[in-house]
Amino acid sequence: MTDRLAAFARPGRFRRGNLHTHSTRSDGILKPEEVCRRYRAEGYDFIALTDHFVGLYDYPVTDTTGFRGEGFTTILGAELHSGAQENGALWHILAVGLPADFAPPNAPHFRPVPGMETGPQIAARAVAAGAFVAIAHPQWSGLTVADARSLAAAHAVEIYNHGCAMGCDRPDGAGIADALLTEGRRLTLIATDDAHFHEPDHFGGWVMVKAEENTPEALLAALKAGAFYSTQGPELRDVRIEGGRIVVECSAARGIVFLGAPQDATSVQGASLTRAEIPVNRFADSPFVRVSVIDAAGKRAWSNPLWLR
């Protein structure tokens, strides 16, 4: 049993970052330096610029090292595409922390072609190269549980994608995530922008990563260790098991929701809640519990799973 989530047990301080961003190196409308400038101006500590890794754009792992500076850093990455999902569409796989020379697949455009790597194969190759890998926008992609289950190398699922919220009202990854968590998959949950800047798809969902240093190496290690939470604004301050109870502390909220296996959830509702607790045996039939915090404006924060067995 986990007593306290890594985000609240590890040393360091929280760093705000966006893990899914596009530029003119693929289908975004701003140059890489302007994307970095805007995120820095908005108070972010780091971003990963993750342009589409297809031949149409010359397989970019966009070099953002020149835009790092005091109080702001970048992590190299890309959105990988290779192989077909069950619905015949090309995989979208987020890879943060890729080496600049990551070998491209045979993915000339956004349609599957014969003989290309499968999604699980390119994800495993990215993990072997040192990347933090996430299943991107499951709802938008039409991902099935079988699809997601096959991506055995993934570290995380996008619980919220702000670009998909703004552009097509399909932002959610909770159903896929909870199905895999119920099966015992040790996944974490990220919120991202997926910003292209041609619509209000930016500054809407981010991760708060606990690290002692704001460096690519420290941030990547913390992401892989699950030392973060995701949010649209509300703060999580602690999620722990204490005296046989699950305890949550947060910024002012109207609802604190405890979620386990599908059909297993309970909530505490009220005005300006900053703490809630429930007996841990309330989730005796679930291998995990995770927390959503909802503020008065309807903005959410999401914890990573707390493993109960």
Q: What CATH number has the domain bearing residue 262?
A: 2.60.40.10
Length of the chain: 309
The predicted model gives 46-69 an average pLDDT of 98
User: Looking at residues 271-298, what average pLDDT do you find?
Assistant: 97
On whether residue 88 sits in a domain, the answer given is yes
Give the mean pLDDT of 133-151. Answer: 97
282: DSSP letter: G
Judged against a pLDDT cut of 90, whether residue 113 lies above it is answered with: yes
Q: Tell me: do 152 and 257 sit in the same domain.
A: no
Same domain, 254 and 155: no
- Quick one: 66 and 158 in the same domain? yes
Q: Which residues pair with 80 in a beta bridge?
A: 53, 93
> 3-state SS string over 55-112?
HHHCCCCCCCHHHCECCEEEEEEEEECCCECCCCCECCEEEECCCCCCCCCCCCCCCC
Same domain, 51 and 115: yes
- Structural domain includes residue 117: yes
272 and 169 within one domain: no
Q: Which single residue is written with the structure tokens 């109870």?
A: 245
Q: How large is the average pLDDT for residues 188-197?
A: 98
Place of tokens 């090292």: 65
The reply to whether 92 falls in a domain is yes
Q: In the chain, which residue ranges form alpha helices assigned H by DSSP?
A: 6-9, 32-41, 119-128, 138-141, 145-150, 162-168, 174-182, 216-224
- DSSP-derived letter for residue 176 is H
How far is CA 243 from each of CA 72, 136, 256, 280, rounded to the nearest angstrom? 40, 37, 19, 9
184/49 same-domain check: yes
H or E segment to which residue 14 belongs: strand 13-18
Label residue 104 by pLDDT band (50, 70, 90). very high
Which of 200, 231, 262 lies at the terminal end of a domain, its last residue?
A: 231
> Which of 231, 247, 276 lies at the terminal end of a domain, its last residue?
231
pTM beyond 0.85, yes or no: yes
Alpha-carbon distance 180 to 103, whole Å?
Answer: 29
**Once rounded to an integer, what is the mean pLDDT over residues 117-134?**
98
Q: Rounded mean pLDDT of 86-104?
A: 98
Please report, for the domain that includes residue 219, its CATH number.
Answer: 3.20.20.140
Cα gap 86→222, rounded to integer Å: 32
Please give the pLDDT value at position 309: 84
> Over 90: is that where the pLDDT of 2 sits?
no
- Section 146-150 average pLDDT: 97
pLDDT exceeds 80 at position 171: yes
Q: What is the pLDDT of residue 94?
A: 98
Question: Do 66 and 39 belong together in one domain?
Answer: yes
Contact criterion met (CB below 8 Å) for 291 and 268: no
- Asked whether residue 274 is assigned to any structural domain, the reply reads yes
What mean pLDDT comes out for the span 90-105? 98
Band of residue 139 on the pLDDT scale cut at 50, 70, 90: very high
**129-152: average pLDDT:** 98
| Residue at 1 is within a domain | no
Domain shared by 213 and 250, yes or no: no
- Domain match, 170 and 241 both: no
Per residue in 200-217, pLDDT (tens digit) is: 999 999 999 999 999 999
The whole-chain average pLDDT of the chain stands at 97
**Same domain (yes/no): 129, 47:** yes
- Domain end marker among 174, 196, 231: 231
Residue 98: HSE in the Cβ half-sphere, 13 Å Cα cutoff: 33
Nearest Cα to Cα of residue 189 among 174, 210, 201: 174
Q: How many domains does the chain have?
A: 2
> Quick one: average pLDDT of 206-234?
98
- pLDDT for position 1: 67
Residues 55 and 190 in one domain: yes
User: Which regions of 162-264 does DSSP assign to beta strands (E)?
Assistant: 188-192, 206-211, 228-231, 236-242, 245-259
For residue 155, give the H/E element and its range. none
Q: Are residues 22 and 67 in the same domain?
A: yes
- Residue 145, pLDDT > 80, answer yes
Looking at the domain assignment, is residue 43 inside a domain? yes
Mean pLDDT of 232-257: 97
Domain containing residue 269: 236-307
